[in-house]
A = this chain, B = another copy of it.
């Protein structure tokens, strides 16, 4: 079987050199940006292959990934592009340390993920869900676990496939729990989704989990719904609230532009809630957009909504 042989490549040079298209996919930085940075900051400085095309050494790709991650957290490229990988990682860790909750259950689950003990992982998560209840499970286990897993991945302590497997288990469990709590059409009706290019579905499921327990009726569209479709869906399903999730990686400009557009197209009486790790750093609030700073606040926000709309509810038509 001698076909292809891209193979782990014992060769030190041509070994793992990555073409620009692959770097774009890997890091989420567009080809335009990669070439522009090279022009402006002299980093990255890829080698060239026989055709004069850029090929990036793996360590530069690693640094690019770290840069992207920090930029998603609000750092500007010019300030950090000159730093060493170590400094970048340190920056990351500093921020992470603040968020870290040293919870024994969380640590134990992390251990199971890293050890690939799938049956035990499933069982432990299930058990935690049952013992804590859905809302506390989401707040005390899933939320910190997401942070930890993300950090471990960026440190290189956790492989992509381990993170995937974790996400898949949580997803199954949350969906299972959600379908067990069959809503009966009670108000408010909440439309849950995200903007195009925002693929993280765990945040949506966490929100849905919090909501269904409150007796809210959820219409989950999954991720990546274009703005006009969100409007049509809200109208078709008589949504009282449209809830959107943003991850840290979502470009702020796009978010603000999309939210403004959506807010303009949505009826005034329809509320617009936004949540997720991508919203905490937003400085100026937008008119008519409710920012859910922490997923824990969902319950009280629902209570507030119900107080305001007491009486004039459109009670399941």
Contact = CB atoms under 8 A, between A and B. Distances in A.
Interface of A: 1, 3-8, 25, 116, 118-119, 159-162, 164-165, 167-168, 171-173, 175-176, 178-179, 185, 193, 196-197, 199, 219-222, 224-226, 228-230, 232-233, 235-237, 260-261, 263-265, 268, 287-288
Given A161-B225, A175-B175, A199-B199, A3 B264 contact: yes
A285 to B, nearest CB: 13
A196 B118 CA distance: 23
A232 to B, nearest CB: 6
8 contacts: A3-B264, A4-B236, A5-B264, A118-B237, A161-B225, A165-B221, A172-B178, A175-B176
Contacts of A6: 261, 264
Contact of A176 (B179, B199, B219): B179
A242 to B, nearest CB: 12
Contacts of A175: 171-172, 175-176
Given A179-B172, A179-B176, A220-B168, A3 B287 contact: yes
Contacts of A4: 232, 236, 260-261, 264
A314 B263 CA distance: 58
B268 A161 contact: no
Contacts of A160: 225-226, 229
Given A7-B265, A8-B265, 18 more contacts: A1-B268, A1-B288, A3-B232, A3-B235, A3-B263, A4-B260, A7-B228, A159-B232, A161-B225, A161-B233, A164-B225, A165-B220, A168-B222, A172-B175, A172-B179, A175-B175, A175-B176, A199-B199
Contact of A236 (B116, B167, B222): B116
A161 B193 CA distance: 10
Given A1-B268, A260-B4, A118 B219 contact: yes
A135 to B, nearest CB: 19
A277 to B, nearest CB: 19
Contact of A264 (B7, B228, B263): B7
